[in-house]
Structure 1
């Protein structure tokens, strides 16, 4: 009995240490896999998403069909409106189809953001952001449309990336259509130095880019995508996996390095935003 008493506290400390090591290992794995885990819920609703994509976005906002006003620097290659970021001559392109109300999109962005920005800064990668309004059609409301228009207004001001990131960092719950209120979007603009200007407010309140966003969403609906986010590297889907490998910050860097082997990094001035 005395031997057990002597060993008891020691064994307890060892067990606690081992448990902490296991917890650390699980946390590391969780951070790598969090994006893939998040997408399960989205893909689990594939049937619903498919109906929405085929039937149109009935709750995407006002029915007024104003002129299509593209934000400054936007592209429209293959009739797929996009806001480009990074150096225009970067050898690899990441196409990201997103919805600002989509929880899986926020998890993707919040996990992958630093790596994407690092690859952009090095000239290895440019990103084309395609804005969709899928959640408006699924949950009701207009937050997807309103937030996308506001992001396009931020692009006009040359501050798309900072505002895009701010929207995902502060994303409300999927069922809360907080982004349907222009006042909330303008409030968040104050977090981006120099963005909250009369021109930005007017652009947001007037819905200047609403028709452009709706055109982008139509391209998403017609693109055969299963949900948001849909992420393609040089045209190949990499979300949630590429081959047998799951997406992660390290794997994205590896895949870009493999794709860019023997190619020069981009040196052109960064795209607006």
Structure 2
């Protein structure tokens, strides 16, 4: 029988967050009054030029150009008038968001909200009439215990003085987790999944809506929701996300 190693396995980022003491940075463990310290924010949360309608990275030369768009959005306009991402979905934000999403780490909410609020201020977005979170199915809600997008949307709406009624949007069918699918299969996976609450649809007609989610990858979920809202009479739809996954070749 091979000899067992006495060396303990290195803890994952999630385990490190779980072990974090109050007053420590969740990333570097330095003592800090913030959940993520100023040094880590400077290192991992720098603003980058992004596409106006999908929030993908753009070349630095486009920084400052009005309403810059990537080639994909220029070829096929998405149903979003604007997309704003606060962060890149890479270290350390990928681990922190997973912990917030699957382990109810509400102590991370304020730090994530600060990043989102700062990104919105820098982007100079038009204030929407409604801020609505991406809804979860009942099955997924029972698995996780709460809707992370709902928690973020409620707090951000209070901070920015926006109306937030999550019940206006429904998830009418339980579907496979998007992260488990290839990019090309994700649009089909969310088709017909969402609806506007019929008894409250009149409240949305002629208004503007910002959808809030934690992570944007292919954009399929947000595009499907935007299409549903536009068909219900909404005039314009934005997408606000905490993090955007890198496009191929941007790693």
| TM over 0.5, shorter chain | no
TM-score normalised over the length of structure 2: 0.31
Determine which structure has the larger helix proportion and give its number.
1
Structure number with the bigger relative contact order (C-alpha 8 A, sep ≥ 6) is 1
Q: Is the radius of gyration larger for structure 1 or structure 2?
A: 1
